[in-house]
Structure 1
Amino acid sequence: MSAVAAALRIARRTAWRSRGRSALIMVMIGLPVLVITTLLTLTETMSVTPREGLTAELGAADVRLVQTPAGTELQQQPGGASWRTDGEKTAPRTAAEVTALLGPGTRLIPFGTGVLRLDGERVEALETDLRDPLTRGMLTLSEGRLPATGEVAVTPALGLRPGDLLRPSGAAPLTVTGVVEHPHLPSLKRVVGPDIPVETPDELWSPHHYGTGWLADTPKPVTWADVPALNKAGLAVTSRVTLTDPANAPVRASDLGARQAVGLGAMVIMVVLETVVLAGPAFAVGLRRRRRELAEIAAQGGSARHLRTIVLADGLVLGGTATLVATALGIGAGTLGAPIVARWGGRVGPPEVPWPPVLGVAALGLLAGLVAALVPAVQAARQDTATVLAGRAPATADRPGWPLAGAVLVLAGLGATVVARRQPDSMWVSASAVPILLGLVALTPWLIGRTGRPAARLWLPLRVSVRDAVRHRSRTASAVAAVMAVTATVVAVGIGAHSAYTDQRDAYTSARPTGMLAIWGGSMGDATWNRLRAEAERLLPGVPLTAGHQVRDAEGHRYALRYTVRWNGIRKRRTVVVGDRDLLRLLQGRDDPRAAAALASGKAVVFDAAAVRNGRLALRAGSTGGPPRKLEVPAVVATPADEHQGGALLPRALVERSGFSTVERQLYAMHRLPADSTLGRDLTRVVPRVTVASEEGYRNLPEPGLWGWLAGALVLVVGGTLAATRLASADMGPERAAMSAVGAPPRTLRAVVAGQALYISGLGALVGLAAGTVTGVALSRPMTTHGAGDPATIAVPWPFVIAVVVGLPVLATAAALVTRVRTPVTRRLV
């Protein structure tokens, strides 16, 4: 039998005998492989290519055509589409004209997408006949039957069943006859029917979005050569041939760019480093337990190379098994999890596994197992056989070159961090953290050695623990480095994420104070508005309603008056309101005589000081029907009700002097609607085009993911610390036996073991805090700046940092304190 085969057999048997330690190593190695493989498989399965989504897009048709809005000139090319909206306005095409463009023998069916208004809310709608063969495969019937005239089918996300009624605003009720499922969008909420009142939203138009059009069965394929003529006719084209054209495929570079290469290299180093420092103490435990076994092999003729092979075989067996199991579980979790994740939002395609990156991750896990076993393998080859067989601890010596190399790496990493902080991408900061961590790992034995001197002033159990840790610093360094790496990573992510959250919170802005209710009417006559206002007063008894006004030109086109201002480093576009002193009082939350006097004199009252220059406010008047205009108005700056509030109020006289007219079409009130309010639904019964909005202020929760990081750090830090503490307890067998012999009670022995846990986790957490703070502060700049002149937001989540740096060591110490400690019976050869 060869030496390698014998080593693998010994490793397999040892792993089975020490199942707890083997499971710990496999979890440490396999967890990163499992997470990354799951994410890769999930992402690949949830990516739907144009070829995979062909049936859902076109059914059995050859082409889909959407009419562009009047005045839109569209140009579609294999690399994308471009359009402008100031072209010549033409009449919409008829079905006969489209048939003539596509050639004799073409068959068309209507196919329009938009929204359906249901009780004040909008739901995606598709107007087509699902019974037609051209729509086969677009939606799959799961319950009931396909709809006919006056009927609709719905997707499961709407929660309706056959027999239910839909009541569109301003239209006859529709009966639900079936439930249909989209092949790639399980969370889609859509209503489908052959004659439903579809509305096109007011959002900017883009190809393949909302609009009316047709599905076509053509006598010949519609190629890219046919697209320009159809675009010129005002039609956006989605063709079966163009979707499957290789020219549509995304361009893939033959080699990775600098940014991708640096990011990939940093990820590989970090994954291997984290795995090695976490699994390293567990491998060291195995080596300490097998020192006598390895010494006996050496005494019977085993060479240093044989001992290295035996220990490396542990890494190969455990790393290979962990990688194999984690890869299989990751593929299964990604495949099975894609449909579940897609129900919360997103697409899902056929199960796919990106084999090249998955196999690369598996190879990375196997490499991490071998590297984690490398240092114990070298130590096994260097151990003194006679010393081990005599039951004495082997002596270890520091390598004088390691502290210098570690200091150089730390300084290089700090310099790189200073440079990377100025880059717009946070990836460079993450990459610069790698040499800092590597340097601290190399410096850890030196740091441990410097902590031995203050131990003389400590309580006896802690003094014994610290001195033992210093004496066996090769064993202690791996555990301290593991805690340090985890703490640094978690603290850096915590500071970066909290800074980004704080920046988003500070960037929040509104044109209305928190608690204000707004009711906006669209294009309607005075009589309809009067009915709407009367209904609002009836539904809100005792709530004072203040009027706002809509701006129109001489032809009746609606205009919005806007200005641009920089808020928290980001350019914001504000829409001003038109009203009187009552509305000003609501916007300021109090009476302000100075602002009221300015408003009465015909000046704008502005709540963004940066928008007013030389006492003037520059406005742009925009409309979907009329030409845009620019104007400047006199303005004064006032204080709003809320600190995050901006916007401006213009008096009606000022707007009318600028060549516009005003009509009352808005209502405002300081009133909070209850959660079950049906105000919007009730008002749409008067007129469909009405909007109800409540200003609730900034509502996002503060960084909930940070505490998920804390949970992960809890598992890694406590697990790594307890593994190292178990190793220390095994190594301190003779010392504990001596202490017991001179009368030390069991609680003192437990305190010694707990002191080891406190020392390892405490020192690692302190060093990790320093490294993580540097990286976290550097991360905050690219994560919170939005262009030149925007200062970085740096915010430290103190409760989170304290929980990591103080709470985790305390928890690890408490876990070690309740661990059962046995008093060993030792035998020495003298």
Structure 2
Amino acid sequence: MSAVLAALRIARRNAWRSRGRSALIMVMIGLPVLVITAMFTLIDTMNVTGQEGMVAELGAADARLMQTPAGTVLRQEPNGASWGPGGDGAAAPSLGTAEVMALLGPGTRLIPFSTGVLRLGTEQVDALETDLRDPLTRGTLTLREGRFPSAREVAVTPALGLRPGDLLQASAATPLTVVGVVEHPHRPSLRQVVGPDLPLAPFDQFSSPGEYGTGWLADTAKPVSWTDVPTLNKAGLYVTSRAMITNSPRTPARAFDVQYMVGIGAMIVMVALETVLLAGPAFAVGLRRRRRELAEIAAQGGSAGHLRTIVLADGLVLGGAATIVATALGIGIGVLGAHVVAHWGGQVGPPDVPWSQVLGVAALGLVTGLVAALVPAVQAARQDTVTVLAGRAPAVADRPGWPLVGAVLVLAGLGATVVARRQPGSVRVLASAVLILLGLVVATPWLVGYTGRPAARLRLPLRVSVRDAVRHRSRTASAVAAVMAVTATVVAMGIGTYSDYMDRRNAYTSARPTGMLAIWAGNIGDAAWTRLRAETARRLPGVPLAAGYQAKDARGRRYALRYTMRWNGTRTRRTAAIGDQALLRLLQGRHDPQAAAALASGKAVVFDAAALRDGKLALRAGSTSGPPRKLEVPAVLATPADKHQGGALLPRALVEQAGFSTAERQLYAMHRLPADSTLWRDLAKVNSRVTIAAEEGYRNVPDAGLWGWLVGALVLVVGGTLAATRLAAADMRSDRATMAAIGAPPGTLRMVVAGQALYISVLGALVGLVAGTVTGVALSRPMTTHGTGDPATIAIPWPFVIAVVVGLPILATVAALVTRSRLPLARRLL
């Protein structure tokens, strides 16, 4: 029998004998493999390709055509579609069935396949107008219950919660009878009503071509290929066909991207490093339990290489088993998770496993198991056989060169971070952080020994804990380094994320205060504006409305009065409003006597200090149909209602003195519209040129991202600390038995175990705080600078940092304190 085969048999037998430790190691190695495999599988399964979604899109038809809005210039290409309003404003004619059939050629059969929305009281749902009984629609929707609808009947998707026999009351229409429940093959959360004659309403929000509008399914005599698309696009038709999907040219492979590869490499190193640091203590404890067995093998002629092979076989067996189980579970969880997530929103296709990525992750897990067992294997090869067989503890020799190597790596990482901080992109900073973490990992055994020196001044439970941690330095150093790596990563990402949030929040600016509703119209007449204003007052009863004005020259051409200034280091252009005291009161949120007096005297009231020069405001009057003009008007500075609010207000008299006439065309109010408000639709019925804007303020919040990182740190720090603590408790059985024998109470024994958790988590958190702060500060520059001259924003989320550095060690210590650790009876020689 070969030495490798014998080592594998010994490793398998030892793994089965120590099932608890083996399971712990397998969880530590397999958990990252499971999570990453599940993520890759879930993403690929939820990504429905054109081939996979072709039946749901086309049914049995050869092509689907959708009419685009009038005036849209459409161009479809294999790599995407572009659309926009026509330059000359010419509208493509609205086509009927006969015109579309003529474009597709003789032998074409069309059936309606139009999409829009159905208004059900205050809500609206997607609606599809087609006859599901037609063979061309076979496969677009699957019948789950009842039958397909005919005239004045509908089928609904399960998300609507209706059953056959229920009535559906659409707005301004007779009730529709539900006769069937249908399901989309890839979108289980879709809320849709389907029928052959629905009272469709147009979708009144932005949508891309092919989503909503009048459409058809086509059965053609010849395939609709890419050569036919330009002609159909020119007619205002968005096209999807079998020939286009099956013959779409492949996307060219992405050129080699150095930054992308560096980022992937840094991520792989971080995942492998964290896994090795978590699993390493378990292998170290296993080695100490097997010292006598390995010494007996050495006494019978086993070489140092044989001992290394036996310990490495542990890593191969446990890592291989963990990888196989985790890969299988990850694929299953990814496939099942895709269907669960799709019920909340999104789409799901057939099970799809990216085998190249999954096998790469599996290989990483296997290598991680071997690397985690590498240090114990080297220690096993170097152990003194006589000392072990005599029952004496082997002496732990410090290696003075390792702290120096760690210091060199840390200094190299710091230098690389300084250089990377001034480069575009954050990948280089993350790669530099890997060097710093590797250096700290190498220096961690020295840190453990150095911080253990004051143990003599501690109380008995903590003194025993710290001395045991220093005595078993390899086990402790791995656990401390694991906590340090997690803390450094989380603190760095927290600082970077929060700095990016603060930069965006500081850069946010608006010319209106939060909560203000603005309504304006384009170039309309006085009578049309009067009707629009009256309808607005009727729809907003009891809401005070302040008037705004637009400027026109003598020939009736509209002008916008703008000025340019710098806000938070960014060049910003604002349009000055024209109004009176009522609008000034809304913009300031209060009555300001000095600003009101300045406005009444004919001066502009400005809320941007950077825009004023010697009491003057420089304006540029611009028009789409007239020559531009430059103005310089007297102005005063005032305080706005909101911190991030800017803008300026011009009195009508000042604008009219400059040679313009003014006409009321805007309305402002401090009023928040409800989510189901139909104000825009109601006013659009009066005049289609109306525009409504509600100032909501800066809406992005960092809490979700930051506390998501905290949850991840909670699992890894507390879980890793408890795992290392349980291993330490198993190692300290003889010491705790001795303490119990001389009368130590159970609380003291628990404090000894909890002291290990406290020491490991606090030391790792403090070192990780320093490393994470350096990386986070460096990371904030590429994340918050957007061009030359833009200063970096550095912001530290103190509650988050305190929760990570202080809260997690306390939580880990409390968890270790309340965890029951049974102390078996120990046999003692008298």
Scaled to the shorter chain, the TM-score interval is: 0.7 to 0.9
TM superposition shift of 1:730: 5.0
Letter of the structure 2 residue corresponding to residue 250 of structure 1 = T
1:227 is aligned to 229
* Residue of structure 1 equivalent to 2:538: 535
Residue 444 (1) aligns with residue 444 (2): yes
Structure 2 Cα separation of the partners of residues 75 and 731 of structure 1? 71
Cα deviation code 1:480-517 (max 9, x no counterpart): 21221122122222222332333344444444323445
Deviations 1:621-663 (A, max 9, x none): 67xxxx6986666664543211122445455677888878745
Equivalent pair of 2:92/2:236 in contact (CA under 8 Å): no
1:645 aligns to what SS in structure 2?
coil
Distance of aligned partners of 1:45 and 1:652 in 2 relative to their CA distance in 1, 3 Å threshold: farther
Q: CA, structure 1 residues 747+418, in 2 after alignment: closer, same or farther (shift >3 Å)? A: same
1:118-177 per-position Cα deviation (integer Å, ceiling 9, x unaligned): 666665554555454444333344455555566655544455666444444xx5456363
The Cα of 1:578 is off from its aligned counterpart by 5.2
The CA distance in 1 between the partners of 2:556 and 2:133, in whole Å, is: 43
Mapped pair 1:477 → 2:477: yes
- TM-score normalised over the length of structure 1: 0.86
- The letter for the 2-side match of 1:302 is G
Q: State the Cα deviation string for residues 494-542 of structure 1 (Å, max 9, x = none).
A: 222332333344444444323445567898946753662453354x4xx
> What is the CA distance between 1:710 and its match in structure 2?
3.0
Assess, with a 3 A threshold, how the Cα gap between structure 1 residues 740 and 360 changes in structure 2: closer, same or farther: same
Choose from 103, 106, 109 the match for 1:104: 106
Instruction: Give the whole-Å Cα distance in 2 for the aligned partners of 1:145 and 1:550.
Output: 58
Structure 1 counterpart SS, 2:64: strand
Distance 1:57 1:616, change over 3 A: farther
Alignment of 1:173-188 (within 5 A): 175=176, 177=178, 179-188=181-190
242, 251, 262: which one pairs with 2:244? Answer: 242
Q: Deviations over 1:572-601 (max 9, x none)?
A: 776765543212211211223454456556
Cα distance change, pair 245–567 in 1 and its aligned pair in 2 (3 A): farther
Counting matched residue pairs gives 815
5+ long unaligned stretches in structure 1 = none
Q: Is the 8 A contact 1:124 1:191 kept in 2?
A: yes
Letter in 2 for 1:348: V
Deviates further, 285-294 or 494-503: 494-503
Query: Counterpart of 1:231 in structure 2: which amino acid?
Result: N
| Contact 1:501 1:703 (C-alpha < 8 Å) held by counterparts | no
Match of 1:592 in 2: 592
Q: How far off is 1:436 after superposition?
A: 1.0
How big is each residue's C-alpha offset from its partner over 1:335-360, in whole Å with a ceiling of 9 and x where there is no partner?
11112222333222111011111111
Question: Does the C-alpha gap of structure 1 residues 772 and 552 become closer, same or farther in structure 2, counting only changes over 3 Å?
Answer: same
* Aligned: 1:346 with 2:338: no
Distance 1:727 1:209, change over 3 A: closer
- 1:14 has 2:18 as partner: no
What's the C-alpha RMSD, in Å, of the aligned pairs? 4.0
The match for 2:258 is 258
Q: Secondary structure in 1 aligned to 2:703?
A: coil
Matching of residues 340-739 of structure 1 within 5 Å: 340-517=340-517, 525=528, 528-529=531-532, 532-536=535-539, 538=541, 540=542, 543-548=543-548, 567-568=567-568, 579-596=579-596, 599=599, 605-609=605-609, 615-618=617-620, 636=635, 638-649=638-649, 662-663=663-664, 666=667, 668=669, 670-671=670-671, 695=695, 697-698=697-698, 700-729=700-729, 731=731
**d(CA) in 1 for partners of 2:174, 2:599:** 48
Alignment of structure 1 residues 212-361 onto 2, 5 Å: 212-247=214-249, 249-253=250-254, 256-361=256-361
Alpha-carbon displacement from aligned partner over 1:408-436 (angstroms, at most 9, x marks no partner): 21112112222222333223222221111
Q: Cα distance 1:235–1:416, how it changes in 2: closer, same or farther (>3 A)? A: same
Q: 1:552 to 1:828 in 2, by over 3 A?
A: farther
Give per-residue Cα distances to partners, 1:426-474, cap 9 Å, x unaligned.
2322222111111111111222232344334434443444344334323
2:394 alignment partner, SS class: coil
Q: Does the 8 Å CA contact 2:71/2:92 hold for their aligned counterparts?
A: no
* Corresponding position: 1:92 with 2:93: yes
Distance 1:750 1:189, change over 3 A: closer
Aligned residues with identical type, % of pairs: 71
Q: Which SS does the other structure have where 1:615 is aligned?
A: strand
Alpha-carbon shift at residue 38 of structure 1 (Å): 0.8
CA distance in 1, matches of 2:604, 2:163: 53
> Which range moved further: 109-118 or 35-44?
109-118
* d(CA) in 1 for partners of 2:575, 2:632: 17
Q: 1:182 to 1:602 in 2, by over 3 A?
A: farther
Supply the AA of the counterpart residue of 2:286: G
The one-character-per-residue Cα deviations of 1:657-699 (angstroms, maximum 9, x if unpaired) are 887874556351x3567x7987859968986978877655445
Q: Distance in 2 between matches of 1:680 and 1:483?
A: 55
Measure how far apart 1:298 and its partner are. 2.5
User: Does residue 1:196 correspond to 2:199, yes or no?
Assistant: yes
Equivalent residues of 2:488, 2:769 under 8 A apart: yes
What aligned pairs does 1:748-759 form with structure 2 within 5 A after superposition?
748-759=748-759
- Larger mean CA deviation between 284-293 and 470-479 belongs to 470-479
Normalising by structure 2, what TM-score?
A: 0.86
Query: 2 CA distance for matches of 1:76 and 1:199?
Result: 23
Tell whether the 8 Å contact from 2:285 to 2:731 is kept in structure 1 after alignment. Answer: no
Q: Secondary structure at the match of 2:500?
A: helix
Query: How big is the shift at 1:726?
Result: 4.2
Alignment partners' CA distance in 2, 1:16 and 1:278: 21
Range moving further from structure 2, 380-389 or 706-715: 706-715
CA distance in structure 1 between the aligned counterparts of 2:555 and 2:61, rounded to whole angstroms: 43
Distance of 2:727 and 2:156 partners within structure 1: 62
Amino acid at match of 1:373: A
Amino acid aligned to 1:360: G
Q: Report deviation, 1:326.
A: 1.2
Return the offset for 1:755.
Answer: 3.2
Matches within 5 A, 1:28-107: 28-69=28-69, 71-82=71-82, 85-87=86-88, 89-95=90-96, 96-107=98-109
Give CA-to-partner distance per residue, 1:372-410, whole Å, 9 cap, x none: 111111111221122122221111222233222212211
Q: CA deviation at 1:219?
A: 2.0
CA contact (8 A) 1:58 1:135 kept: yes
- Residues 1:449 and 1:155: Cα distance change in structure 2 (over 3 Å): same
**Alpha carbons of structure 1 residues 91 and 83: separation in structure 2 relative to 1, 3 Å:** closer
Question: 2:599 and 2:120 mapped to 1: Cα distance?
Answer: 40
Contact 1:152/1:174 (8 A) holds in 2: no
Q: Structure 1 pair 609/53, CA: closer, same or farther in 2 (3 Å)?
A: farther
Decide whether aligned partners of structure 1 residues 621 and 151 sit closer, same or farther in structure 2, where only a CA change above 3 A counts. Answer: farther
- Partner AA of 1:306 in structure 2: H
C-alpha distance in 2, partners of 1:633/1:129? Answer: 63
Of 99-108 and 746-755, more deviation after overlay is shown by: 746-755
The answer on whether the counterparts of 2:491 and 2:773 sit within 8 Å (CA) in structure 1 is yes
**Structure 1 residues 108, 358: closer, same or farther in 2, change over 3 A?**
same
Contact 2:561 2:621 in 1 (8 A): yes
Q: Answer yes or no: is the 8 Å Cα contact 1:44–1:353 preserved in 2.
A: yes
The DSSP-based 3-state class of the residue aligned with 2:240 is strand
